[in-house]
A and B are shown apart, each in its own frame.
Chain A
């Protein structure tokens, strides 16, 4: 049985979504623990999320 490419795209999106979700959740926990470090945590969060997002876009190239 042949699995359509779009299934792979779905898996990529699930993976990227879980990854970004974890980053966001952890960043919120970190901010709650150390509100004075909010700016630094947010920057690191955005960079990490952006890097995962880059992988997520691989899903766009599925036909």
Chain B
């Protein structure tokens, strides 16, 4: 364990944070609302449901959708929330507080431009807040380039700062001696595990060192973010496909950049197969090149999203049945599934890091034994 490794980790941590900062994280919300008939809070008031059973189900669905989606303010609990800055690139930089939207109920005016929230997305509009809809009920209004500090971006920044000080503190202890102190006592076995069980077996003794900073960063970032998702704050960072896309993209780029000539030869001119098969193999290998990071992205995203949906749906069932007799059963089920989710949180971080190391290993592998 060298101090150097930790400082590299901090730097790459800050880098990842900075990359995410520039990524607007509302893509998942778009998917979610497209074919669902989820009701926004104000729409529910406009069309009161006739059937009480339908009403509670719609409310649960709305709560789940709200929990999964990224938003412009940070809701701690029902009614307690604080606004986050909205940053738009629209004829110059427009920065204002999301409190101007009043949770999507009013039109925000900034320097003579008007913006309105529709399904958690910002659209440019006129003073009356009018949105022109196409036949699919999607607004045709202009969407300004959104660089807002949304809930997810905010959480990533908080986590980046938390991890920076955690690891800096752990690293400092090694300057005075070889024994880990404070957080280092907890982190050292994990870091050694990533090095000895993930990096060295997959990448190899010779090359593993330069990838350690990235592997440790993704491992702890995904793990801590998954754990943060288990808190009742409604954080769903790793269950957002934009975030997992960014992580998979970084893995993809590092793999391609560090690929040696054997790696590229195995893709375009596979040794050891008949010449007629070589072009066919090249096509398959080329597809595989993109399928690998794609599966990384989908795996993490779908696992975390499914975990959240299942947990919240089971909690919702308590309200659907509304019975004292059956509620303890759902409570117990939620408890057991939460414990399972804690395992999944660590397992997904492990698998993402593991496969990343595997891809790095295939890129730098040397074929001396041939």
- The interface of chain A, by Cβ under 8 A from chain B, is 39, 43, 46-47, 50-51, 53-54, 57, 60, 63
Contacts and interface: CB of A to CB of B under 8 A. Distances in A.
B184 to A, nearest CB: 25
A47 B354 contact: yes
Contacts of A46: 347, 350-351, 354
Interface stretch (B1-9, B115-123, B294-302, B312-320): B294-302
Nearest to B298: A57
A37 to B, nearest CB: 13
B interface: dominant SS: helix
Given A46-B354, A47-B354, A54-B298, 11 more contacts: A43-B201, A43-B354, A47-B358, A50-B351, A53-B299, A53-B303, A54-B299, A57-B298, A60-B302, A60-B306, A63-B35
Interface in B25-60: 35
Interface of B: 35, 197, 201, 295, 298-299, 302-303, 306, 347, 350-351, 354-355, 358
A57 B351 contact: no
Nearest to B202: A43
A50 B354 CA distance: 10
A60 B303 CA distance: 11
A50 to B, nearest CB: 5
A57 B294 CA distance: 12
B262 to A, nearest CB: 22
Nearest to B306: A60
Contacts of A60: 302, 306
B306 to A, nearest CB: 8
Nearest to A55: B295
A57 B299 contact: yes
A39 to B, nearest CB: 8
Contacts of A43: 197, 201, 354
Nearest to A49: B351
> Among A50, A53, A57, which residue has the most Cβ atoms of chain B within 10 A?
A50
A46 B344 CA distance: 12
